[in-house]
Structures are given as structure tokens and as C-alpha cells.
Structure 1
Amino acid sequence: MSESSEGESITVAALEVLEALTEQEEADRHRLELKVERAFCEAGSALRELRDKRLYRSTHKTFEAYCRDRFNYSRDSAYLKIAAAAVYDNLQKFLPTNCRQFPLPTNEHQLRALAKADLEPQMQASAWLQGVEEAGGKVPSGRIVKGIVERLKEKPLIKASDFCQVGDVFTLTRLEGIERKYNGCWAIAFDVSGINVKVDVHDIALTVKPENLKPIDSPDVRRQLPAILERIRRLRNVGFLDRGAYGVLEDLGRHTYLTDVEEGLLTWLEEYYKVNSSKS
């Protein structure tokens, strides 16, 4: 332990014991206090548990006084850490699968604005992704995140369900970063429960914004694309396709209807790899 930590232990030990903790509670308190000192996310989660279990009650009457004496945290600082840990958990849960390579927060100050704002968990994840984009793919500063939160409050958010329905078909546009390769591909919406739209493309599921979707109004295309997607999926699930087959499937992912030649190529691949088709 550091000199300051030793000093803190002496101070705590000298305090009047208000209510004795069990041996297990003492062990829990020590374990959780170490977490508070190591990392902001662990700190927030540990503080929450210390508060909820009232593990401070042997030496302090209030959680706030305990945080001040034990960690030199003000009330606001302690509750910010707790709120930031909750936001961090929401980011891990609600960040789209294809965005998990994006950096996560490294301190609670980056999440201060999100912790204070009254935003749904999915909105918190969306705001964080916007911050990462503005920071050039790096962890955004608290100032950047605060600016995004303020902009979100200025204008009403459009729900995905106000923009489209499950099964609607689109052409992807204005995607950036590693997803830009899907610009021009067709996509089918399968989840419109948040502010973003989850769509299937020929080889992956993506989470995109409404502005990334250009509606396709043709009834024939709306009817045919789900069947084409299923045929492509069956072939990809074979798992040992030749590179030429992958090339054909990639190309089909950019066309909203099949020419006779493309239909023939797809049928030939299904026959070659012994995959049953379900043509519509």
C-alpha cells in the first residue's frame, strides 16, 4: 500500500464502530474498495454495491460521508462514477455488434454528459458512436460527447419505426469507415425498434442511420430481394466456397434484380454445391 493509503487505513480504523460487519462483509468491503481505486468503471460498480449493501455502516452514518473520508470523493464525484459505470454497461450491451471494434470510454469525465442526460440506453450508445466518429475513430473527449448530447436535446429524434417497417428494402448510401464498402448494396430492414435501423445485406447484418438508407419502391424488388437473400445465405453457409463463388455472391449483393445470366449463375452454384433453392 502507498503511504497515503496506509494513512487512510489508520484513520478508518480509528473511527467509532457504529455497526459491526461480518467477516464476509469485511472481506467484501476490502475487495470493493480496491476496485474503486483501480479503474473508473470498476469504481462506479463497486461504489454502487457499497452503497446498496450499506457496507459503509460500520464506520459512517451516510454513504456520502464514507466516500469523502475513504476516497476523498465529493457526493457529486461519487454519484458521477456510479452513473458513468451504468452508462458504460449500457454501451457494452447496446453498441451494435459490427461497432464493437470502436473504442470504449477510459474515464468517467468522458461520460459525464451522458450520465446526466435523460437518454435511453440505445440513445447513449448512439451518442457515443457519434462521438467516436467526430474524434476520428478515437476515444472522444467529454467536450465532444457533451456537444453531441446538447444537439440531441435541441432536435427531436426520429424513431426508426417512423421511417420504415420490418421488411422494407433500401440501397445503402453515405456509409463511412469500414462499412463504406457496402455503399450501393441493397439491404432489408429487420429491426426498427430504436433510433437506428438494423438491416441484412448479402453477407452481414449492419446497424445504420435512416440517412444511410435510400428506399426502393418497386413492388417486384420488394418481393424478390428476401428470396435472393435466402439463396445467398444458403450458399454462404456451405463454408467452403471457391473464391469465384464468393465473387459472384458479392456482385449479386449490389443488384436489386437478377438478369437471366445472373439467375443462371446463382442456380448453377446451388446445383454445384448441392444447396436447395427456394425461388420465388
Structure 2
Amino acid sequence: MFDNIMMGANCSQNKLVDEARTNTLQILPTSERQVRPLVKLKPTQQQEVWLLAVEEAGGKVPTSKIVLEIVQRVIEPTQIPNTYQLGEICQIQALDNPQLKGLSGCWAIVSAVNDLNCAVKMWNGEYTVALKHLKSCKYLPAECEQMRLLCERINRVYSTELEESVQKFLESLGKLNSSYLTVLEEKLLSVLESEIRV
């Protein structure tokens, strides 16, 4: 694959090559991670995607994230439009994404809707998640509002500095399969809020 990019950098089918394109072709990957997403593509597509990634990175070596986003655009040109709505509650499905490890099954609130992904707010922070890693919980607006309030409450008290058992309790709230807390869960969260002085 690296050879495919190199071939694009060293040869051209056209005698007259645009100087900017030639300079773009001469920018090569600096790590294997940057080219890993290109494996799914044909050699000619690999070169084209690399060019687009370099252009998107402002003529510099692109990050693996930029390359991955462009590969996704190439692979999924007939993609179904993103139908998620701001404030919608979704469940994370980690599948093959190592960045979502440990978050599978957690609920998340859509905070931004993009073409290929959504920004989501969770009990422990914010993430950008590809559409294939989200599943709508199909909650009613009132339930979405309850989850938004719960997310805010958990975010105010959650910290990696907390005792492990407290962290685990808050993490378990992040995997609730309902839009409400039980009486006991509510009491425990209230105690944490008062102890941490939110």
C-alpha cells in the first residue's frame, strides 16, 4: 500500500502535472496508522484518497482520522442520510471500534449531527461516533429530557479521582436500559451529589 502511494508520488500518466498536485503527491505517510484505513481500497483509490487527505490537512501529512473520514466517504457514497436528531438518545454499539471499548451498551445524547457521524454526550464525556456505532433508543421527548438531566447530574459528579466503586456505580447508570432511575439509584446519586457538593 505504501508503494501505491509512492508510485503516485513518483510517476504520473500525464506529462503536464499541476504543480500543487505534484507537491501533494510528495507528502508521504509518517506512520502505519495513517495508511491503515486505505487497506480497504484499490491501489488507485488509495492514491486518490491520500491526495484528498493531504489537501484536507492543508498540504501537510494528514492524521489517521482525516484519512479514515475520507475513506468512509469513498466506501459509503450511497450512504443513507443521517437521520439522528439533536437531543436524541442512542445506544453505543462498539463493534470493531477500539476507541469505544468499554462503552458498548451505554446510552448517549446526540449533541451534533454530521454527514457520517454524530457528536454525542455521555456520562463520562463527549465522543464523535460513526453512524454504524449508534442505535436509536426511540425515546419520547419527555424521556429524552429525563436522560439529558441525568447525564448532566452524572457529569457533575463523575471524576477519575473517585473511588473505584463510586466510578462503577456511575458507569452502571450510563448503561441504564430505561429513562428513569429506581428509587435506590436516585437516593445513591443524590448522596453522591451532596457529598461531592455539586
| TM-score, scaled relative to structure 1 | 0.49
Give the C-alpha shift of residue 81 in structure 1. Answer: 3.8
After the TM superposition, which residues 182-261 of structure 1 pair with which residues of structure 2 at under 5 Å, given as runs?
A: 182-219=103-140, 220-236=142-158, 240-255=161-176, 256=178, 257-261=180-184
Give the C-alpha shift of residue 227 in structure 1. Answer: 0.6
In our comparison, the structure showing a higher alpha carbon Rg is 1
Q: C-alpha separation between the residues in 1 aligned to 2:121 and 2:95?
A: 15
| Matched AA of 1:261 | L
Give the C-alpha shift of residue 221 in structure 1. Answer: 2.5
After the TM superposition, which residues 1-280 of structure 1 pair with which residues of structure 2 at under 5 Å, given as runs?
A: 76=17, 79-82=21-24, 85=27, 103-105=33-35, 112-115=47-50, 121=56, 128-129=67-68, 151-152=75-76, 155-160=77-82, 163-176=83-96, 177-219=98-140, 220-236=142-158, 240-255=161-176, 256=178, 257-275=180-198
| TM-score, scaled relative to structure 2 | 0.66
Q: Deviations over 1:125-182 (max 9, x none)?
A: 7783379xxxxxxxxxxxxx6xx77634xx423443xx11211111112432241321
Q: Deviations over 1:28-61 (max 9, x none)?
A: xxxxxxxxxxxx9xxx9xxxxxxxxxxxxxxxxx
Q: Deviations over 1:184-209 (max 9, x none)?
A: 10011111133211111211322222
CA gap 1:149/1:268 in 2 versus in 1, 3 angstroms: closer
**4+ runs of 1 displaced by more than 6 Å?**
124-127
| Matched AA of 1:156 | T
CA gap 1:125/1:84 in 2 versus in 1, 3 angstroms: farther
Q: Judge conservation of contact 1:114–1:149 (CA < 8 Å) in 2.
A: no
Q: Judge conservation of contact 1:168–1:188 (CA < 8 Å) in 2.
A: yes
Q: C-alpha separation between the residues in 1 aligned to 2:74 and 2:47?
A: 12
Could you say which residue in structure 1 is the equivalent of 2:39? none
- Structure 2: runs of 5 or more not aligned: 10-14, 37-42, 58-62
Q: Count the aligned residue pairs.
A: 168
Q: C-alpha separation between the residues in 2 aligned to 1:171 and 1:126?
A: 23
Q: C-alpha separation between the residues in 1 aligned to 2:33 and 2:126?
A: 20
Q: Judge conservation of contact 1:189–1:200 (CA < 8 Å) in 2.
A: yes
| Matched AA of 1:263 | E
* Structure richer in helix, relative to its length: 1
Q: C-alpha separation between the residues in 2 aligned to 1:201 and 1:228?
A: 10
Q: Judge conservation of contact 2:108–2:122 (CA < 8 Å) in 1.
A: yes
Aligned identity (percent) is 24
Q: Judge conservation of contact 1:190–1:199 (CA < 8 Å) in 2.
A: yes
Structure with the larger RCO, 1 or 2 (CA within 8 Å, 6+ apart): 2
Q: Judge conservation of contact 1:189–1:197 (CA < 8 Å) in 2.
A: yes
